[in-house]
Amino acid sequence: MSELVQRLLGAAKQRPDAPAVVDPDGRVTTYADLFAAASHLGHALHARGIRRGDRVAMWTDDSRPAIEAYVGCALAGLVVVPLNARYTASEVHGILADTEPAVLVWTSSQDGSVEELRDDGALDGCTLVRIGPGASPAGTLAWAEVVSTGDVRPPAVELDGNALLAIGHTSGTTGVPKGAMITHASAAAVARQHERAYRLVPRSTVALTGSLSFVSVMPAHVLSHLVIGGRVLLLGRWDVDSLLDRVARDQATFTYLPSPVLSDFADAAERRPEALDSLRSILHSASKAHPDHLARLVAATGTRLVEGWGMTENSGGLMTATTVADLEDARDDPGVLATVGRPLPGYEVRAEDGELLVKGPGIVPGYWRRPDQNAQTFVHGWFRTGDAGHVDDRGRVVVLERRTDLIVSGGMNVYPAEVEQVIDALPDVVECAVVGAAHERWGQTVVAVVVRPPGSDLTEEDVVAACRRRLAGYKKPTRVVFVDQLPRTVGLKVSRAAVRSQVAPPVGHDT
């Protein structure tokens, strides 16, 4: 039995009647109920011939069944393939082709997209499990029936740390999705590290602001709490005031803030300081924030901020983090807030030719079925992050640029090649380049620079509409710039640096 499964089962056994998950409406799921449903799922899938190592794609909303399904797969030795709830059927199709899942679990909000995938043959041979009200389509298992009967004991499966827990896709600059192979051991390491880095109290309560369909949220936030017997508060749709309401009502001790809400949260915290009484720590990571915004948050919330650097390839977890002492130092040295803290215990970070390299226990062993990419990226135990930066003379890591071509908008990753493929398919596009432009609220916003043939009547609305049809909403351009030609390097490649300089003035409207 893997360490991860041991810790999960240990927490459930120690406090079976304690709350594990609390829905937005206040419904409580105990550890006993959560693990019973998870075990039911594992047994039901095993009974249908699904075996250890088979993939289970999960296209789910932020709901209790999503957590039950993830834990159920972990107990049964099945490998979760998270699908972002905002993806289109076209985006999901490529991930399904890459991982060849034996099972698809989805929530009813995706019924139309799942029907489209079935019609395309993308789900041929899949066992289909639907979560939600109403009748399930023919040949589909209803979630409520699957998890309501059977053995409450976890399936008897031999698992060690090398067993895969999840394959989390993070598209590369080629536009081809690549799946980071998160193992039971790497996820367990992240859970151990986060207990300290997040400053979690025993039986911590997380007010969960991130979507459960994001690759990192389950291992980094949910499992990190379940292994210590904590509570997960599901928020549904939220804003800073409703978040503070929930923190105060349920005495949350930990939460995460994406970059766009930092200033709004600081304002709300100053208006309602009593709402923060139970909150021990506030994580910010995923997208770069201006040091002034972080300083504003620290002024309003004290030393609760945990500024960190993590990524999917670290099993969704942090590799570096600031401490309370760092934030106390920031009063005299504002430069502290321009860093992402020091490496966590067991991690090493170094810079090589301006690129940050990392090694540590949470780093995944590689990408799913990508031997050439693995040989280039995972070298002698070091992971080449692609992020530009350095380590200062006090051991603090400074990330200057998030994977040069990558656009991080409101904490969401947008890979230019994905958007460019959609735009290039339009008949009146000669070529295009997609880059990120500075944005006051979102950090970056997506801008498409497009070359049209002479006489073309292609409009900005045409380009945006094409992206909206094929891509998640956060990936569509918020601005389209038409030019006669794209700038190029001496090697005749498109110069993204020059393109970025063309769109450098901040874009003021929201994505």
Q: What pLDDT does 129 receive?
A: 98
Task: Give the orientation angle of helix 240-250 with respect to helix 262-271, to 10 degrees.
Answer: 50
Q: What pLDDT does 304 receive?
A: 98
- H or E segment to which residue 499 belongs: helix 496-502
Q: What pLDDT does 504 receive?
A: 79
The pair of structure tokens assigned to 307 is 């500024």
Q: What pLDDT does 413 receive?
A: 83
pLDDT tens string, the chain, 511 residues long: the values are 999 999 999 999 999 999 999 999 999 999 999 999 999 999 999 999 999 999 999 999 999 999 999 999 999 999 999 999 989 999 899 999 999 999 999 999 999 999 999 999 999 999 999 999 998 889 999 999 999 888 899 998 999 999 999 999 985 444 567 999 999 999 999 999 999 999 999 999 999 999 999 999 999 999 999 999 999 999 999 999 999 999 999 999 999 998 878 989 999 999 999 999 999 999 998 777 778 889 999 999 999 999 999 999 999 999 999 999 999 988 888 889 999 999 999 999 999 988 999 999 999 999 999 999 999 999 999 999 988 889 999 999 998 766 667 888 888 888 887 898 899 889 999 889 999 998 888 889 999 999 999 999 999 999 999 999 999 999 999 999 999 988 876 455 678 888 988 887 644 444 3
CA atoms in the 13 A half-sphere facing the CB of 317: 35
According to DSSP H, which parts of 48-183 are helical? Answer: 64-76, 89-99, 111-119, 143-146
User: Quick check: 387 and 313 in contact, CB under 8 A?
Assistant: no
User: Quick check: 62 and 213 in contact, CB under 8 A?
Assistant: yes
Q: What pLDDT does 401 receive?
A: 65
Go through the domains of the chain in sequence order and give each one's CATH number.
Answer: 30-183 (3.40.50.980), 197-401 (3.40.50.12780), 407-502 (3.30.300.30)
Cα-to-chain-centroid distance, residue 67? 15
